[in-house]
Amino acid sequence: MQLYRWRARNKSGKIFTGRLLASSDREVAEYVQGQHGYVTHIKPINNLYNFSKTLYAKKMNNKSKESFFRQLATLLNSGMTLLRALELIRGKSTGDVAEVCAFIEKDLYKGMPFSLSMRKLPNIFSQTAVQIIEAGETSGKLAELFLQLADFYHKELETKRFLLNACIYPGIVLVFVFITFYYFIWKVVPLFVELYATMQVEPTVFLSSLNFLGKFLEDFHWQTLGIFLLLGWRLYFWREKLQTWGLRLPVVKACYHDLLEMRYCRVVSLMLASGISLPLAISAAGETLPLIVLRKQSERLGREVLRGIPLSKAAAFCSEIFGPISLEFIAVGEESGSLAEMLTEAADITDKDLQAKLKDLKAMVEPVLLALIALLVGCVILAIASPIFSLITELPDYK
């Protein structure tokens, strides 16, 4: 695939320009002629620029996906055709959304289904979203499923925003503590060491260590930066081990379990609502789980359901995925025939529990951070003031 820049002119003389990802310039010409009239210019974009633009899928976040599917649902419900809806969205959008619309439009002009065009963009649309749209094309509920996908991405966005807000305060505190400590050992500690040297007072071991560290950072700052970059690089490759270790912490493990359970229930509910069978919904939801242990449990759950075992009984052996509340809602949903709705309710309740746990965790972390900062400040003050106290005690006692 190559990214092309094109220019066209209609019968009234109005000029149109744009970019299109296509396999040949002829394909671009056919698309532009069908849209705007006379093609005046087609030029492939250079490889570096093309490479960066073909990665636009990574820039399409959940907010863009939510807007894209919500606009499609609204326009289709108004009686507009899918192709015309894409043209309108592309006309008033920029960046990734506009390029995705142009790419899908090109395939729709060839008679290709919407879901098949989505399948060509795996970095944008997940396999789960493609299967849901395929089911919507078969059942004729495309607009309804577009709206449900928009709601799904909206929930995901809200969850990520809440997690980010919960981590902002501790992160800002740690950054400022690090910057303040670095400035202190670089500028302030040497002044006290020189003062004590002129007074012929022996500094404490801790103060001498801070002074040595400050001189080292000043003399070898580039080397120190290289060490930090190397350490960061190694931590990046150890991220899975660090994640596994961190998830063993009781509070963090409970929050992470709720997050995965909430996402799993929402994916299964969305796929069931689109008309996909329960085993396929479980299989698709299992692909969204990041840990191998959880994916194996999901595969086992799918096999049990295929054997004819009720979901409520099979899910009881998947404690790493489902909590007690979700199991109760699954049992009620199977009895009433509204499993998709009950899974959505279970996800919403789990979401509320997750937010409550994160608030409790934040309330617990904040005083711990303040206590650590106070301990650090106290150690520094003691290291600086100890030589002064020893000097005072050695002064003769005048009466």
| pLDDT given at position 395 | 58
Could you tell me where the DSSP H helices lie in 78-126?
Answer: 82-92, 96-109, 114-119
| pLDDT given at position 248 | 67
Neighbours of 138 (CB within 10 A): 14
H or E element: which one contains 315?
helix 311-315
Q: What's the number of CA atoms in the CB half-sphere (13 Å) around residue 29? A: 9
Four-residue CA torsion sign, 273, 276, 279, 285: negative
List of E strands, the chain: 2-9, 15-22, 38-44
Q: Are 160 and 168 in contact (CB under 8 A)?
A: no
Q: What are phi and psi of 121, to 5 degrees?
A: -120, 70
Predicted TM-score (pTM) of the model is: 0.64
Integer angstrom CA distances of residue 109 from 10, 31, 87, 102, 306: 19, 8, 12, 11, 39
Q: How far apart are CA 329 and CA 333, in angstroms?
A: 6
Neighbours of 2 (CB within 10 A): 16
DSSP string, 7-73: EEE-TT--EEEEEEEESSHHHHHHHHHHHTSEEEEEEEPPHHHHHHHHTGGGG--HHHHHHHHHHHH
CATH classification for the domain delimited by 194-399, as one of 1.20.81.30, 3.40.50.150, 1.10.10.10, 3.40.50.1000:
1.20.81.30
Q: How far apart are CA 351 and CA 328, in angstroms?
A: 16
| pLDDT given at position 219 | 77
Query: Tell me, what DSSP letter sits at residue 2?
Result: E
| β-strand partners of 22 | 2
The pLDDT tens digits along the chain (399 residues) read 566 777 888 777 778 777 766 667 777 777 777 767 777 878 777 643 444 344 444 457 788 888 888 898 999 888 888 888 888 888 887 777 888 888 888 888 878 888 888 888 878 888 888 888 888 887 777 888 888 888 888 888 887 777 777 777 777 888 888 888 888 888 888 888 887 788 777 777 777 888 888 887 777 778 877 888 888 887 777 766 766 666 666 667 777 778 888 888 888 888 888 788 888 888 878 877 777 777 888 888 888 888 888 888 888 887 778 888 888 888 888 888 888 889 888 888 888 888 888 788 777 877 888 888 888 888 877 777 777 776 666 655 544
| β-strand partners of 44 | 4
Q: How far apart are CA 203 and CA 215, in angstroms?
A: 16
